[in-house]
Structure 1
């Protein structure tokens, strides 16, 4: 971990395309996450291009409303090697606002049936106004390795 970024890496005994297909499916994100915060996708379409927005229903006991919705914008998409998104919210007027953190998965095929996957959570662009009421990272150090373990299990089952 550096000061404003966490990463975890795991080798999967699976082809990169099989792993990437799970990451590009918003319906799989709750099971990958494993915290119980990510619930179900509002937008079910597979992630296919940079700029695409997908919304997720969320829950956190410390959130003022408990349940809330994120709007995520695909920032990088290079199948089957990279997928990343910025997390934010949709305002009442439909405008999207992002908080300055992103999730990124980098997949490196080691063999046709083995892939190294690196998950990065980066909050380096979070402005001071958000840091006043949110602490980063908002989860413990085990979260990223657990997410990679969940991803491996889901991808192997498909």
Structure 2
């Protein structure tokens, strides 16, 4: 594959602020994920600033431990237009080590109740030594579209929930 990123776009029938709020809430990420690998938010605070780290419990049958944890560093936080992070892992000494791939959501309001969302997975900064044992992208092309559909469904459900 010559490109080193993949993306998908979907129009979500919800206001941009609501869609952004869903994405900025790590507890929603398992419901958005299209692979089934994201299991639970370890850090549950909303994503509010660049540099913030949030941890997510993961599962992959090909991972040596099956269950593992990703430490994600927020790299883009421009409410309600864009949010993105760089996944990595925390080493035993507390140091964070990143693989070089990023997730980014770009949101464009199409009116008061519609948002165009583009999800991009970019692996252009992955070093060669990681490419020797990981295939990129590590999921099929349907993953991004499935994730965006899950996001749309979740945003619709949160708008239907009564306020407390």
TM-score band, normalised by shorter chain:
over 0.9
CA shift for structure 1 position 2: 5.9
Q: Which residue of 1 aligns with 2:65?
A: 65
CA shift for structure 1 position 112: 1.1
CA shift for structure 1 position 34: 3.0
* Matches of 1:56 and 1:13, distance apart in 2: 27
Q: Which residue of 1 aligns with 2:106?
A: 106
Q: Which residue of 1 aligns with 2:24?
A: 24
What SS is found at the alignment partner of 2:43? coil
Q: Which residue of 1 aligns with 2:82?
A: 82
Show CA shifts across 1:99-145 (max 9, x none).
Answer: 00000000000111111000000000000010011000000000000
Unaligned runs of 5+ in 2: 159-164
* Matches of 2:127 and 2:100, distance apart in 1: 7
* Matches of 1:142 and 1:35, distance apart in 2: 9
CA shift for structure 1 position 89: 0.4
TM-score w.r.t. length of structure 1: 0.98
Unaligned runs of 5+ in 1: none
Aligned length: 158
Q: Which residue of 1 aligns with 2:136?
A: 136
Q: Which residue of 2 aligns with 1:127?
A: 127
What SS is found at the alignment partner of 1:130? helix
Show CA shifts across 1:30-59 (max 9, x none).
Answer: 110032210001101010111000000100
TM-score w.r.t. length of structure 2: 0.94
Q: Which residue of 2 aligns with 1:96?
A: 96
CA shift for structure 1 position 12: 1.0
Q: Which residue of 2 aligns with 1:54?
A: 54
Structure 1 residue runs of 4+, over 4 Å off? none
Q: Which residue of 2 aligns with 1:5?
A: 5
Larger relative strand fraction = 1
Residue correspondence of structure 1 range 38-49 to structure 2 within 5 A: 38-49=38-49
